[in-house]
Amino acid sequence: MNMLIEDAALETTSVACGAEEIHAQARLLEYMQGRYVAFAPHVTVGLVHQPQLISVPGAPNYALGLIPWDGRYIPLIDLASLLHTFPQGEIPAVDHVLVLAFQRAPGEPLEHGAVCAPYLVKTVEVTDSRQRALPDDSHLWPLTAISCFEFLGAAVPVLDTALVFGQTYL
Amino acid sequence: MPTETMRGNFVVLRAGPLHLILPQAEVGAAEHIEGGLRPSGRPGVFGHGEGSLACEVVAPSERLEALEAFPTDRFVLTRLGTGATQFAWNEMKVLLDVSLDVRTLPEALRGAGGPIEGFVDLQGTIAFRTDAQRIVSYMALGEG
């Protein structure tokens, strides 16, 4: 079952700001308990519930496999495994996944990938005054994030989907 | 997603939920497990047959790792390439004189030394394109 982000988001959170601050929206994903990343709204395509997962021999441990979507097959990545651990052993059960679009370079064809979405995806408003440095709990933030903002006291990296899906991190 | 077309004779091998598609010339004739298997002393490798027919047997998992517990539903044995090891599968299917669209494996799924080149959609079933050398090398069976 595919769901639009607009249907799934239960709330939009506004951060108090001054009158001259510029607002922007971001899709907030809690990819593991208490840890967040964000994506630009235009790259978030939809949520899929319990997609069929096809494991791929030789794929990196954090890349769970292929899932069918919109008549094609796209890669599914577990951000918790990518950013923090590379676990061996059983593949975690997949519930919801967030489908994302990416473009390797301007003018290149649009491609798609998905990340595990174990918790609800929210839409939040962000302002420049909330910018902060990347957290230091993963060596991959500088390689995958284009900015970072503060949300409810936590640092939220904004991921570049082309960097997430366009290469492997071994 | 980039595609290319491959034509000819191919074999589809199934190991649990994993489907592989290889050129027919790289897959030996199918045999069936007769009698029991015996431990070889090496994890995931089993002995089969007697005398001049004795061989080693490996049952690949869906991740192409040698299963240490031999699945009871693997009856089909094939050799791959020039190797002597027999591989145990659930099914083997031959596709003769076909033309198949092979889709490139997404970059995010290409691990270093991975055995998969791409995949084909066989009427809703995904089969991964590979070859005998890649499988043997990836499973570190030490034969070419």
Residue A165 has pLDDT above 50, yes or no: yes
What pLDDT sits at residue A90?
56
Chain A CB contacts of B113 below 8 Å: 58
- Cβ neighbours of residue B89 closer than 8 Å, sequence gap 6 or more: B13, B14, B15, B60, B74, B76, B77, B78
Q: What is the DSSP string of A31-97?
A: EETTEEEEE-GGGEEEEEES---B--TT--TTEEEEEEETTEEEEEE-HHHHHT----SSPPPP-EE
Supply the pLDDT for residue B26.
97
- CA dist B19 and A53 (Å) reads 13
Q: How far is B80 from chain A (nearest CA, A)?
A: 17
Give pLDDT tens digits for A63-120.
Answer: 999 999 999 999 999 999 999 865 555 556 789 999 999 999 999 999 999 999 999 8
In chain B, the residue whose alpha carbon lies closest to the alpha carbon of A108 is B1
Q: Is the pLDDT of residue B46 over 50?
A: yes
- Measured between beta carbons, the chain B residues lying within 8 angstroms of A58 are 63-64, 110-111, 113-116, 138
* Residue in the structure block whose two tokens are 């910018």: A131
CA atoms of A76 and A53, how far apart (whole Å) = 8
B52: three-class secondary structure by DSSP: helix
What is the predicted pLDDT for the residue at A155?
Answer: 94
* Residues found in chain B: 144
pLDDT of residue B18: 98
* Interface predicted TM-score (ipTM): 0.91
Task: State pTM to two decimals.
Answer: 0.88
Identify the residue with better confidence: B4 or B2.
B4
Model confidence at B35, pLDDT cuts 50, 70, 90, reads: confident
CA distances (Å), origin A105, targets A148, A162, B25 = 22, 8, 40
Angle at alpha carbon of residue B30, lines to B26 and B32, rounded to 5°: 145
Yes or no, beta carbons of B107 and A168 under 8 Å apart: yes
**For B76-125, what is each residue's pLDDT tens digit?**
999 999 999 999 999 999 999 999 999 999 999 998 889 998 999 999 99
- Of A164, A25, A66, A147, the C-alpha closest to B105 is A66
Residue whose entry in the numeric block shows the structure tokens 């991959």: A140
User: What tokens appear for A31 in the block?
Assistant: 């990819």
B1: pLDDT strictly greater than 70: no
pLDDT digits (tens, 9 = 90+) for A17-50: 444 567 889 999 999 888 999 999 999 999 999 9
User: Nearest-CA neighbor of A82 among A64, A56, A67?
Assistant: A64
Q: What is the DSSP string of A93-140?
A: PP-EEEEEEE-SSTTSPPEEEEEE--S-EEEEEEEGGGB-PPPSS-TT
- Which of A8-12, A160-164, B8-12, B120-124 has the least mean pLDDT? A8-12
Question: Which residue does chain B place closest to A161, by CA atoms?
Answer: B108
Is the predicted pLDDT of residue A3 greater than 50, yes or no? no
Interface of A with B (CB under 8 A): 54-60, 63, 65-66, 72-75, 77, 111, 113, 164-168, 170
